[in-house]
A and B are shown apart, each in its own frame.
Chain A
Amino acid sequence: MVTEVNLCGVRLKNPVIPASGTFGFGIEMADAYDLNVLGGISLKGTTLQPRYGNECPRIAECPDGMINSVGLQNPGVETFVNEKLPALRKVFKGAVIANVSGFSVDEYVAACERADEAPQTDIIEVNVSCPNVHGGGLAFGTSPESAAQVTAAVKRVCRKPVFVKLSPNVTDIAAIARACEQAGADGLTLINTVLGMRINIAARRCVTHEKYGGFSGRAIFPIALRMVNQVRHACSLPIMGCGGVSCADDVIEMMMAGANAVQVGAENLRNPFVCKQIVEELPSAMKKYGIDDLNSIVGIV
């Protein structure tokens, strides 16, 4: 039974990857279980400078999901490269995906360059879609032109595969995917969170300190599937499918829609052991559906 997948030459023992922002810098979970069961880990988003992020409350419960407005809290790319990556590499042999955000093309380039230089990094994931930051990532990910601009600029300084992580909060995700492909992207990750809001009725204000936040969790799985499928048919880049995945069946469904690997996000927050459990369930799920090689089902629908 083959679970190994390949992303632009980076081999993953299985397609299961905790999504950026839902698994810290990986090391936080090293005591909970052996991380080496995972195909890869997409690390918490990094920016050039350290960021506190948004004020609390940053979290709101939703039906079958949640909203977060963390706002890209991170210690900055220098600490990321000098402390977080080496610490993770000591305990993890799988694919390390450095997720990078920025507030200008120059910032993206500078942060990606540092992350790319780090020997521990296997893949650069460029977040052009974080909906939390005012005037930030959202602007780049919402038009084909600006998404292509960031992609091209980052590609000029990176030697490692560059995956652009796309926002679902757009009219035509296929057009943005094609623009990234033409600008030189090596792959795509989708979808990021869906912009949402919750109101505390009694208090007559938003639950989160920021008015809007990123909605994720099981409820967005059908949206993610549809968009992965649209992008699969719009371009030929490898895809890390993400959004509402919570079990091995979801991984298979996401791959059938067109994903080459699958990221698990919000589910980690309700069950920090879920990625390990999915990896364990995967062989029996494959057997159940008569799948010998996961690569054979990618994009069959």
Chain B
Amino acid sequence: MKDQTFTIKSNERVADGIYRMTLNGDASQIVRGGQFVDITVPGKFLRRPLAAMDWSGDSLTVVYKTVGKGTAQMSELKAGAELNVLLPLGNGFDASKCREKALVVSGGLGASPVYGLVKDLLARGREVKLIMGFNSAGDAVLVEDYKKLGVDVTVVTMDGSIGMKGLVTDAIRELQPQHDFFYTCGPKVMMKAVCDMLPGPGQASLEERMGCGCGICYGCTCHTKKGPRRVCADGPVFDKEDIIW
């Protein structure tokens, strides 16, 4: 773990209340999709934990929603501004658990943390089926990015404004995608429904309000079948069989 100054390269609105920020700086310590960074927002006491969507030795991309004053302030930052970033944080998804075919199910902004995972799976030669759920066309993000990766994407929206109409679980029921391991990230109710309906093994990325983000304050502990675990440091990705919903 290190803290480092990154410079904002771009910070653009990409959907309703959702922004994509790309920063210049060395993010090569991140090794797995689902890991996150903790960003200092000017005027706020605690950092804001955000999943690393994409990263490299000289760049880091995060996609975030303006949910409170901190993230609203972040959305107003301009290119050239400097931000202190703590990274890499969290365990991330384990792409090696998939042997042949992966099913990836995202809900809303959960499309961001699985981007690195999908790239990793593709690099390992795995076949990836991605089901992306959104409320409507207005909050659909990253669909084009995934199509550029050449991954098989099905988009589902609650209102049917793009893609199939319904829930991700409807899409799973209809498509019956073959897979030996699944990964999911999105609202808790969605992930629970996905884990409940899929019989095989999988991983889900949990979310909790955090203090430190690096395992020292125990502010984000959750119950698991293996005992109490810190979402920030022991997670945020947990094996399906260990999660207590």
Identity of the chain B residue whose Cβ is nearest the Cβ of A32 in the assembled complex: B1
Contact partner of B210 (CB less than 8 A), chosen from A52, A59, A217, is A59
Are B220 and A58 within 8 A (Cβ)?
Answer: yes
Contact between chains at B215 and A28 (CB < 8 Å): yes
Known contacts A21-B217, A73-B228; is-contact A272 B70 (Cβ 8 Å):
no
User: Cβ of A271: which chain B residues have Cβ within 8 Å of it?
Assistant: 3
* Stretch from B43-51, B111-119, B169-177 at the A interface: B43-51
Q: Which of the listed residues A58, A64, A217, A266 has the most CB atoms from chain B within 10 Å of its own CB?
A: A58
Q: Which one of A32, A58, A269 contacts B46 once the chains associate, using CB atoms below 8 Å?
A: A269
With a 10 A CB-CB cut-off, give which of A21, A61, A62, A266 has the most chain B CB atoms: A61
Assuming the A-B contacts A22-B216, A52-B228, A59-B46, are A270 and B40 also in contact, with contact meaning beta carbons closer than 8 angstroms in the complex?
yes
By beta carbon, the residue of chain B nearest A44 is B218
A52 touches B211 (CB 8 A): no
Given A58-B219, A272-B216, 9 extra CB contacts under 8 A:
A21-B217, A32-B214, A56-B209, A58-B211, A59-B46, A59-B210, A68-B211, A70-B221, A272-B86
Q: Which A residues lie within 8 Å of B45 (CB)?
A: 61-66, 217-218, 266, 270
Instruction: Give the interface of A toward B (CB within 8 A).
Output: 21-24, 28-29, 31-32, 44, 52-53, 56-66, 68, 70, 73, 207, 217-218, 266, 268-273
Q: Name 12 A/B residue pairs within 8 A (Cβ), A-sorted.
A: A21-B218, A28-B216, A28-B233, A56-B220, A57-B208, A61-B44, A61-B68, A70-B221, A73-B228, A270-B46, A271-B3, A273-B3
- The answer for the CA separation of A152 and B228 in the assembled complex, in Å, is 34
Residues of B within 8 A of A (CB): 1-3, 40, 44-47, 68, 70, 86, 208-212, 214-223, 228, 233
- How long is the Cα–Cα vector from A53 to B222 in the complex, in angstroms? 10
Task: State how many angstroms separate the Cβ of A203 from the closest Cβ of chain B.
Answer: 12
Instruction: Tell me how far the C-beta of B17 lies from the nearest C-beta in chain A, rounded to whole angstroms.
Output: 14
Residue pair A58, B221 in contact (C-beta under 8 Å)? yes
Contacts of A218 in B (CB 8 A): 45
Q: Which of B2, B210, B221 has the most CB of A within 10 A?
A: B221
Q: How far is the CA of A273 from the CA of B1 in the complex (A)?
A: 10
C-alpha gap A53/B230 in the complex (Å): 12
Contacting residues, chain B, for A59 (C-beta < 8 A): 46, 209-211, 217, 219-220
Query: Distance in Å from the Cβ of A206 to the closest Cβ of chain B?
Result: 12
Measured between C-beta atoms, what is the minimum distance from A67 to chain B in Å?
10
Inside 8 A of B228's CB, which chain A residues have their CB?
A: 52-53, 73
Bound CA–CA A269/B47 (angstroms)? 8
